[in-house]
Every structure is written in structure tokens, then in C-alpha cells.
Structure 1
């Protein structure tokens, strides 16, 4: 397949097409040729280049990609597939939703379809996109369906979409995202989300990260030490990797550390305030802001909740380690997203966490790649 990768981020969706899984190892997929990728964010583009050095990464605003430039990048041969979805922050139901320039980037996707004319496309975004409206009160998903169905007199795409939870596809977290499949209307191709290969069992958080070394406030650890992989998922994630990266924690203050020391699995803000009410904790530890699962400790024997760019912030949504009194490290977040340990992230600590939190889980991407490769050859 000849593929164009838009809004690529660090490369989570890319990973599923660049590799396939064989004998519990990631092997290069020679049937997928990613012609070029485009990403606006400098740090994410640098991470992409580090991990996919043979893919032509165009690090610039998609609005500045000219038709001449794109045609020069793809050449004369037909493109089979465009993958990627615009940034999701504007559509997210967490925080302030606004129909801003980022929310309108599906117009650039439309423009790329009109130039590249791929056989199919795969578009991913947060579930909140389905309820998002434009300034006229029209649902964004309806805009996409109507616009993409009739790009010009000759070209249009039939669209099907569904909400997919990554936990059903080998990823150890609940992560619901909308996936849109577009099929060029001159092709006799059908897509059925039910054909994606669902895994028999869901992985728990403990199964995903229990082999990563113990870490304390303010530390950064680069070696596994005596920690050995305990199951097939951990062995897949390690591969032949020897040196850990992105396994670091911020330095916690006394109040935050005390709160983490006392919260139990499945509990958070309300539990801590209950301890204050009972006199077990002093009044100064009362939590007066945030959501119900602020300072929430994760369950060991359940899949993780959705990984976000606040995975290492105890005062964010549930992200406290099920056993140790700390938040998750970025490497643990990457594990939970199904990035292997040898996948490296570049940038400052905030940028690294953002790249991980925004990514499509590679193992979920791999499921889509398998099905699309079967259809497109």
C-alpha cells in the first residue's frame, strides 16, 4: 500500500502500518510504503523522525502545503490510503470546547483528499467530535459526511464511522475514539468495523507495567535492573531493549505526597476529604478543587483509564500508580498506550507527555492496518 500520513504526531497510528506483529515481536511491514508524513509540532516531528528515519517527514503547517508540493511528494502513482486525524483538543469533552481553527482542520483534510484522491482514508478523533457543532449549529460529523461525499463533480467518499474502545484490541486501557473510514465512490469496497480482530481477554494495568522498576519522587531511571518481564505483553514491549527512557517523575511537595500515601485503589478526592472529615488527615489536606477522580489511584487488576498528557500529574484525572505512592511515568504511559520501550520520545518533559497522551495506540493501529491491507492489497 502507498500511504500518506497526515497530522502524524509522534507516530502511534504510523506504527501500526510500519510494523506488523509476528511471534510476539514487531517486524517491519514491507507491504506498507508511507510516502510522506506531515506534522506541525516541532517536537512531535522530531520524535517521528527518530523512530521512522526512512519516512519523509514534512514538519510544517498543513495549511501551507501547496498542491504543487503535495503532487511532487506523491508522484504519479496512485495513493491507496491517507491516515491520520486533526488535533482533538477542541472537541474534547474535558475542559473548554470551542469551534476554533483547530476544530476546522477537517477542511484541510478535505483539501488533501481533493489533491491526493486516495482509494480510502482512516480518520481518528475523540468521541466528543460526534457532539461538536460549528458556529451555525451543524454537527461537525455531518459536515464531514456531506463535504467528503462530494469533493467535486468526479470525486467523493462514502463514509462509515464507529466509536472504538482500544481495550478490546490488546491495549491495556479504556480509550474510546471515533474512527472514520472513507471509501472512494468509484470503488466496489466495503468496510465493516466488526471485522477488526478483537482480543479474547482484556489486559490489566498490572499486566502492562509491573516489570518496570520502582521509582521515587524526583528520580529518573535508565535501567531495568533486576526487573524481568512477566508475561507476553511485557516481553513484546521490551523486545531487545536494554536502556529505559522517559521513566522519570517530578519532585512532589509534602501535601501531594501525603495525599498519595493515603489514597487507596479506585478512590480519589472524595476519599481524601473523608479522611479529613474523620480526623485522620489534618484540615490542610482537604481538596477543594478538581473532579471526583482527581488524585485518583488506579486499579491493579483492571485496564487503565484513558492516558492523557496529564498522566504524571497527581492532581489531574486518575493517574496514581496502583501500588507505589506516585503518579505514572511517561514510560509507563507509553507502555499503557502500547508503545514499545525502544520507541523514543524527544522534546522537553511536557512535550513528551503530550506526544504520548495524544497518540493512537500502536496495537490498535495495527488492527486497522491488518484489515485495510487485506482490502487494498
Structure 2
């Protein structure tokens, strides 16, 4: 392995034996509430760790949530509330250099439930700010994340993004992760790209999900035994009509059940499967999103109500002591935009294993065919 710029700190000294811990300083763009930031801090490796350096996001509540849970203080100066399009990167340079970069660039224009405007939309081009950060900071590695819908239309958008990553000096390893295969109690599918700088003689291997084959990913287990002290447990008000409608929907079903009474039927042309959809207690949840109106809350399998934000956070694998800031609606959006921390932790651990030579089971990147060859 060639020389990298990651810092090294001493863990302990016992007699003449010295143990050194390689420390990777992490910067984040579009940081969200801390799904990736928390996961990076929790990543386990006998010879390396990831520590927070700086993060930025456009939403003020989100920044407070991130700073409080990842940095230990809701007003931590290393978490910058700013619109990335107006942020002077010198502010990040002033905080310090980084060895790793994470950027879950906004997915709105690539989501299959949106208009799929791609690069023509408001959010589609924002990945370029990640490329600029790679050029300026030259970290050893990066992690970029977006929705699986970015593979649409033959992967044209993803090809362009990967080409940009390669052009700024990185080998890339794009993979379509199904997080329920990694012990997350939710069918959440995401495109994640790991990049390693060209001059570093290492190859990344996508962590195999085999070790998690027997994990209990049922919604029932995920939502059990939530402690009374857990925050963000406020119930959503259900109208009498909604309660009555839910009473006719079985576990795992939605508003389009065949025997729904006439006065409770929803008369729309499109029949989205997520409308008034109840969880199946024996299966992983369907994808947690930031939406909630018009029957798009996630609904309990036996109780005629929507899930609380803490229950949503459980499905996303946030710890119960992870506290979200803001209104109930703001918290719902934060949880929906996040990467499941326990799933992301597995990927960060694979990065640390790669840089420290620790063997682990791997699979080939499923989207490697979209990497530019020239």
C-alpha cells in the first residue's frame, strides 16, 4: 500500500509494545441527521477508526440533530448550516483536512416516486459539489450514496456521475445494496459508491451479506421493547375516517383491499401500494420515507395508527438514545432521508478493513458495468 495522508494516534503502550490506531478524519456534505456520521464513528476495526472532522447540510434542524448526536453538542462549530450552492469551501478548509469524504447527494430528482428529472432538476446536479470537494481535499477514500432509481434509463445518470468521480482521480466501486440483506429491518435499497484515490494501491471489496443471513429483520422484533424514556414518540392524530379505514386493512395490506366499504374507498386513477399500507409483522418494513400526508405514513400491523417517529427510527436502526431535533414533521423527514446507521456501519468497516489489510468476505460490485473504461 502506498503512503496515505491519514493521521495516526497511539491507543496504548504496554511495556515496549506500542499499539497505534490509524485515524481517518471524515468530512460530510449533505450530511443529513447523522446516519452516516454515527455509523462512521461506530465502525469497528482493530487498527483503525473514523472520527468526525466537519459536516454541512442545508436544513437547520438536521444540523442540530447531527451535531448533538455525532459531536455531542447541538451547536458544534464543525457542523455548518449552509446551502451547498453558496458555501465557500474555505470554511471547511479552515476547520481542517480530511482523509475520508461522505456525500449522500440529494435523491429527489432520481427517486422513482418523483418526476425523475435527473440532471434537469433542482437537485440532480448537486453531486458535482462532491466532486469539487474530492478535488480540493483529495481524501484517501469516499462514500457516495443515492437512491436505487438513479440506475433508471440504462444507468445514464449514474454513468455520468461515475465518470466524474474517475476523472478527479478515484477508482470506484458502485453497488446496489439491499439493506434488509445486511440485518436492517427494512427493504431499503440504495446505490452506494466507494472510491479509493488512484495513487493508493488498494482495491475495495463489497462486503458480502452472507454473515447476516440469519438476522431477525422482522418489523415486530424491530419495534419491540421501546423504552419509555425514548424521545420522538409522539403519536400522529388519526381521524375517525382513517381509523375506520385501517380497521378493514389486514397486516401487509393497503387501501386497495377488495372488500373496502364504499364510503372508505379512495377514488384515484393511480393505486400506489404505499397508501395506507400496514406493516407485515413477520417481514422487514417497506421503505421508510419522509412523507406522511395522504395515507403515506407507515401504519402499524394491528393498531389502527401511524407509526411514531421513534418507531420509524427503529426501522432505520437508529439507537433509542439518538435524539432528533425539530417539529414532528421535520423529524419525520430527517429519519426518512437518512441512511440506516447499522447498514452503513458495515460498509465503513469494510473500508477500514481494506486499509488495514483485515480480510473479510466480499462480493463483486453489482454496478461495475457502468464504470467508464476509458
Query: TM over 0.5, yes or no?
Result: yes
User: Any idea what SS the aligned residue of 1:190 has?
Assistant: coil
8 Å Cα contact 2:59/2:81 also seen in 1: yes
Work out the CA distance in 1 between the residues paired with 2:184 and 2:116: 28
The alignment yields a C-alpha RMSD, in angstroms, of: 2.2
1:90 lines up with 2:109 in the alignment: yes
What is the Cα deviation at residue 197 of structure 1?
A: 6.8
Once structures 1 and 2 are overlaid, which stretch shifts more, 197-206 or 301-310?
197-206
Match of residue 40 from structure 2? 17
What is the Cα deviation at residue 244 of structure 1?
A: 2.0
Work out the CA distance in 2 between the residues paired with 1:342 and 1:197: 29
What is the Cα deviation at residue 342 of structure 1?
A: 0.6
Greater per-residue strand proportion: 2
1:30-77 Cα shifts (integer Å, max 9, x gaps)? 8222211111111100111111235610111223332433322224xx
What is the Cα deviation at residue 200 of structure 1?
A: 2.6
Work out the CA distance in 2 between the residues paired with 1:102 and 1:33: 28
Match of residue 238 from structure 1? none
User: Any idea what SS the aligned residue of 1:92 has?
Assistant: coil
Alignment equivalent of 1:191, drawn from 204, 215, 224: 204
8 Å Cα contact 1:314/1:327 also seen in 2: no
Alignment equivalent of 1:171, drawn from 170, 181, 184: 184
Match of residue 248 from structure 1? 234
1:63 lines up with 2:63 in the alignment: no
Match of residue 145 from structure 1? 162
Match of residue 336 from structure 1? 315
TM-score, normalised with respect to structure 1: 0.80
Work out the CA distance in 1 between the residues paired with 2:209 and 2:352: 12
TM-score, normalised with respect to structure 2: 0.81
Once structures 1 and 2 are overlaid, which stretch shifts more, 56-65 or 295-304?
56-65
Structure 1 residues 259 and 301: alpha-carbon distance in aligned structure 2, compared to 1, 3 A threshold: same
Match of residue 290 from structure 2? 309
Work out the CA distance in 2 between the residues paired with 1:112 and 1:197: 34
Work out the CA distance in 1 between the residues paired with 2:30 and 2:278: 33
What is the Cα deviation at residue 340 of structure 1?
A: 0.8
Work out the CA distance in 2 between the residues paired with 1:95 and 1:195: 31
Work out the CA distance in 1 between the residues paired with 2:153 and 2:92: 30
1:53 lines up with 2:71 in the alignment: yes
1:181 lines up with 2:194 in the alignment: yes
Structure 1 residues 195 and 205: alpha-carbon distance in aligned structure 2, compared to 1, 3 A threshold: closer
8 Å Cα contact 1:333/1:356 also seen in 2: yes
Structure 1 residues 266 and 195: alpha-carbon distance in aligned structure 2, compared to 1, 3 A threshold: closer
Work out the CA distance in 1 between the residues paired with 2:199 and 2:102: 20
Give the length in aligned residue pairs: 323
Runs of 5+ unmatched residues, structure 2: 1-23, 357-374
Match of residue 108 from structure 1? 129
Structure 1 residues 21 and 170: alpha-carbon distance in aligned structure 2, compared to 1, 3 A threshold: farther
What is the Cα deviation at residue 88 of structure 1?
A: 1.0
8 Å Cα contact 2:236/2:306 also seen in 1: no
Structure 1 residues 47 and 304: alpha-carbon distance in aligned structure 2, compared to 1, 3 A threshold: same
User: Any idea what SS the aligned residue of 1:139 has?
Assistant: helix
Work out the CA distance in 1 between the residues paired with 2:71 and 2:145: 24
8 Å Cα contact 1:9/1:45 also seen in 2: yes
1:63-119 Cα shifts (integer Å, max 9, x gaps)? 3332433322224xxx32101211111110013222323110111111111100111
What is the Cα deviation at residue 132 of structure 1?
A: 6.2
